[in-house]
Amino acid sequence: MTEAPTLVPGRSCENCTLCCNVLAIAALDKPRLVWCQHCAVGAGCNIYSARPQECRDFYCAYRYSAHLGEEWRPRDCGIVVNFEAVHNRINVLVEPARARIWREPPFYGQIKAWAANILRTRGHVLVWEGADGVVVFPDREVNLGDITGRVVVVMGRTTPQGDEYDALALAPDDPRLAQFKPTS
């Protein structure tokens, strides 16, 4: 169990169930982009008091990041943002029916700013457009295509012209992954 983040006063999940669609829920064998069988869309969870720990622990960034304005409310914008500490990654999960909204103001500018900031800590921003993953860098995006079941790798190097970054998605058994894993 993880420690619950400090939530922004006055913000709730009321009438918002987008996470019940865009997230995978391992405990329920629920894949991404499929409505949870226990979700009453737009109303809430039908098994709320007995929901899996995975669901109990989840809060989108709108709920705990005061710097995100009301325009980031998932129910209204079609975007769920969360930070995945294990991968040092900001996930931007976009409702399939509104797949391009993340490229519009004010979202795009904020996502680009996150990309610049998280690279300083060797992290990255991953936008999920359906099954497709798009790694966002300050100067461009790298569309990795369908990344279902693949590992996203972000690489960086310093050149005389400045820092350069690239991204790729590899199968978990791809031997190239060994070069990116820390040795003990």
Ordered by start, the domain boundaries in the chain are 19-180
Q: For the sheet with 132-136, list strands across it.
A: 79-84, 89-94, 124-129, 132-136, 141-146
Q: pLDDT, tens digit, for every residue of 24-61?
A: 999 999 999 999 999 999 999 999 999 999 999 999 99
Q: pLDDT, tens digit, for every residue of 55-104?
A: 999 999 999 999 999 999 999 999 999 999 988 999 999 999 999 999 99
Please provide the size of the chain in residues: 184
pLDDT band at 178; cut points 50, 70, 90: confident
User: Which are the contacts of 89, defined by CB distance < 8 A and separation ≥ 6?
Assistant: 83, 118, 123, 124, 125, 126, 152
Query: Cα–Cα distance between 32 and 131 in angstroms, integer?
Result: 8
pTM given for the model: 0.89
pLDDT band at 182; cut points 50, 70, 90: low
Cα R_g (the chain), whole angstroms: 17
